[in-house]
Amino acid sequence: MTTKSFHPPQRILLGPGPSDVSARVLAAMARPTIGHLDPAFVAMMDELKTLLRYAFRTENELTMPVSAPGSAGMETCFVNLVEPGDKVIVCQNGVFGGRMRENVERCGGVAVMVQDDWGRAVDPNKLEDALKANRDARLVAFVQAETSTGAVSDARRLVEVAHRYDCLAIVDAVTSLGGSPLEVDGWGIDAVYSGTQKCLSCTPGLAPVSFGARARDRIKGRKAPVQSWFLDLNLVTGYWGGTSRRTYHHTAPINALYGLHEALVMLQEEGLENAWSRHRRNHLALRAGLESMGLRFVVPEEERLPQLNAIRVPEGVDDAAVRGALLKDYGLEIGAGLGAMAGQVWRIGLMGYASNARNVLCALAALDDVLGRLGAPIERGVAVHAAQRTLTA
């Protein structure tokens, strides 16, 4: 049998990521490939670092995209900042706090866990209690926007608590960057990582990171070598850092970086605050529609992430059957629950380019139809109108 070219179906991506990618970004990725040390490409790299500093709200010189997905951004932070024997306070209120713990332990560190209920924000008082009980801790790590539950934590306050006990703060901003307020310099974040496939509206495969001065000093002063050769910032910065002659480290994903550059240009054109407001506005419209149907959110309103909406599956409804029907009949993808929430929630993303009024109304109409056909206990025919009233208010 002769294998033919792959042509993916057209989808509306309203899950936890990846999100829809604009035609401008896809077109940018189709531009001619040039060498990763070509002067034109190096100039583009400098622009990319400037654009990322704008998105992160930072002047950190060490701000760049790691040539791998968001999970590698996480690992970049941990392998560079955690040495064997280091004690790290890890806040967990969902799946991704657990992944932080795994990183700490694989680096030879000791993870002290601060646990909060899934679907709730990290409690700063619990963090402070843990720091009081572990005065030798060197780092605090937490997720600002927990993708598995749709909860957002108060990153500014958590960083303040960490610094009060002379700890550096590592922040997961995979789902928040570009969609929710994030002030790396204003909040004093020491190390932060994200991904390109969510609110930045780019394809998966790159991980923006930024390191402040205290984190850079910690990396330079390490006693043990960085566990990973590929992610060792002492080596990577020879390629990405500074304005002098670049040192070869690896062959960068050239066309993917074209796409990220274009996505960040689009973010700059819209304005960061405007992007935050757009995500909030579309969330409120979706919320109005879902609640009018009788569906319930997992997260309390004041701790709710606008771009990732976790909704409880109604009693007696088959989670997978609904998601399957949405994909088959409408080409619309929403996410399932993870970990302890598997089978209990749907995760509806309104991220980046996908966060628009058309997708809100489409998702509500499709859910109304599918849930109605499956006999779910909902109020039919009201969701779209409720969302429209919010959008036009």
- Each residue of 279-324: pLDDT tens digit? 999 999 999 999 999 999 999 999 999 999 999 999 999 999 999 9
Q: What are phi and psi of 335, to 5 degrees?
A: -100, 155
pLDDT over 70 percentage in the chain: 99
Tens of pLDDT, residue by residue over 6-36, are 999 999 999 999 999 999 999 999 999 999 9
Task: Check pLDDT > 90 for residue 210.
Answer: yes
- Return the HEC string of the chain: CCCCCCCCCCCEECCCCCCCCCHHHHHHHCCCCCCCCCHHHHHHHHHHHHHHHHHHCCCCCEEEEECCCHHHHHHHHHHHHCCCCCEEEEEECCHHHHHHHHHHHHCCCEEEEEECCCCCCCCHHHHHHHHHHCCCCCEEEEECEECCCCEECCHHHHHHHHHHCCCEEEEECCCCCCCCCCCHHHHCCCEEECCCCCCCCCCCCCEEEEECHHHHHHHHCCCCCCCCCCCCHHHHHHHHCCCCCCCCCCCCCHHHHHHHHHHHHHHHHHCHHHHHHHHHHHHHHHHHHHHHHCCCECCCHHHECCCEEEEECCCCCCHHHHHHHHHHHHCEECEECCHHHCCCEEEEECCHHHCCHHHHHHHHHHHHHHHHHCCCCCCCCCHHHHHHHHHHC
- For 336-363, what is the mean pLDDT? 96
Q: Are 34 and 254 in contact (CB under 8 A)?
A: yes
Cα separation of 209 and 217, whole Å?
Answer: 16
Looking at residue 248, what is its pLDDT? 87
CA atoms within 13 A on the CB side of 383: 23
Is the pLDDT assigned to residue 151 strictly greater than 90? yes
Residue 71 has pLDDT above 70, yes or no: yes
**243, pLDDT greater than 80:** no
The CATH superfamily holding the domain 272-392 is Aspartate Aminotransferase, domain 1 (3.90.1150.10)
**pLDDT of 242 over the 70 cut:** no
Per-residue model confidence (pLDDT) at position 48: 97
Q: What is the pLDDT of residue 156?
A: 98
Q: Does the structure show a pLDDT above 60 at 356?
A: yes
pLDDT of residue 301: 95
Q: What is the pLDDT of residue 340?
A: 86
Which pLDDT belongs to residue 245?
72
Q: Is the pLDDT of residue 376 over 70?
A: yes
Q: Token digits for 194?
A: 């994200």
**Angle ∠(191,194,200) on CA atoms, nearest 5:** 140
**Assigned fold of 23-268:** Aspartate Aminotransferase; domain 2 (3.40.640)
Query: Domain residues of the chain, as ranges?
Result: 23-268, 272-392
Pairing relation of β-strands 207-211 and 191-193? antiparallel
Mean local confidence (pLDDT), 53-82: 97
